[in-house]
């Protein structure tokens, strides 16, 4: 299972759990020497493809097993706020070099226009996150590409993360991006149905600080 680091799941919650199992089984030990949490060990996958067939299924946030004592990584309110403030908006605190919204917000209208004018028959509805100066930031954007394609009358979203926090980041990231897809669909006059999310990363990882929590949620255990 997960021999090619390909996960096919029905919901975001299922994808999150299956991705953790895949990372435990196939990940390698990665000592952070540049970026966030220098000196920590991550369990990281060299490449991952995640196909979520019904990303609109609610709740978007993963649910923890009853009585496990582990706090949820996010919830519906946090995902909605993340979408409004961080994906569409430009809210940024003093510690952040960027928000996704500063790149995405100005491109949404163009994406909608492309999809409407082409009746979905376009390969150009693609957003870029970051620019030529981003690699000089202390922490460049993790999400780099958001692409939309209509396939069999369904709006598919594909995303690429150069680095991706599997345990705490993936559920909120994908939940917020699903809300972005749903937002765009509201402008398309019911021409298309909601479709899958296909996510790619060559740096999907579990931080050392979450190892004990992940071990509590999975049969397979992290070994380093």
What distance in Å separates the CA atoms of residue 1 and residue 114, rounded to the nearest whole number? Answer: 39
User: Mean pLDDT for the chain?
Assistant: 94
Q: Classify residue 135 by burial, with Cβ atoms within 10 Å: 0-12, 13-18, 19+.
A: exposed
With both helix axes pointing from N to C terminus, report the angle between 108-117 and 170-185 in degrees, rounded to the nearest 10.
50
DSSP string of 89-133?
S----TT-S--THHHHTTTHHHHHHHHHHTTT--S--EEE-S-TT
Structure tokens that stand for 53 in this block: 């067939």
Structure confidence at residue 93 (pLDDT): 76
Distance (Å, whole) CA 198 – CA 91:
27
Residue 153's region, left for phi above 0, alpha for psi from -120 to 50, else beta, is left
The string of pLDDT tens digits covering residues 4-53 is 999 999 999 999 999 999 999 999 999 888 777 788 899 999 999 999 99
Q: Which domains does the chain have, with CATH numbers?
A: 51-201 (3.30.572.10)
The predicted pLDDT at position 223 comes to 76
Work out the average pLDDT over 205-219.
Answer: 91
Distance CA 125, CA 180 (A): 14
Query: What's the pLDDT at 91?
Result: 75
Give residues with Cβ within 8 angstroms of 8, minimum separation 6: 51, 53
Nearest to 163 by CA among 134, 127, 132, 184: 134
Residue 84 has pLDDT above 70, yes or no: yes
Up-side HSE of residue 67: CA atoms within 13 Å toward CB?
A: 0
Q: What pLDDT is stored for residue 195 in this prediction?
A: 98
C-alpha Rg value of the chain to the nearest Å: 17
Give the span between the Cα atoms of 200 and 189, in whole angstroms.
29
- For residues 49 and 219, what is the distance between their CA atoms, to the nearest angstrom? 22
pTM across the whole model: 0.95
């Amino acid at each position: 299972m997960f021999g090619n680091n390909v996960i096919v799941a029905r919901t975001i919650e299922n994808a999150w759990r299956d991705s953790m199992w895949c990372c435990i089984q196939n990940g390698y030990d990665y000592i952070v020497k540049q970026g966030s949490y220098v000196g920590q060990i991550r369990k990281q996958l060299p490449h991952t493809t995640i196909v979520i067939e019904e990303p609109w299924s609610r709740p978007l946030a993963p649910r923890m097993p009853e009585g496990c004592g582990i706090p949820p990584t996010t919830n519906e309110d946090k995902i909605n706020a993340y979408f409004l403030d961080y994906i569409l908006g430009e809210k940024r605190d003093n510690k952040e070099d960027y928000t996704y919204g500063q790149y995405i917000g100005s491109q949404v209208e163009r994406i909608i226009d492309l999809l409407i004018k082409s009746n979905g028959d376009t390969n150009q509805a693609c957003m870029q996150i970051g620019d030529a100066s981003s690699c000089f930031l202390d922490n460049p954007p993790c999400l780099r590409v958001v692409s939309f394609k209509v396939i069999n009358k369904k709006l598919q979203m594909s995303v690429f993360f150069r680095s991706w926090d599997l345990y705490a980041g993936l559920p909120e990231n994908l939940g917020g991006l699903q809300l972005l897809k749903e937002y765009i669909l509201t402008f398309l006059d019911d021409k298309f149905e909601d479709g899958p999310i296909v996510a790619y990363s060559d740096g999907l990882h579990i931080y050392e600080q979450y190892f004990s929590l992940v071990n509590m949620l999975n049969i397979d255990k992290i070994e380093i």
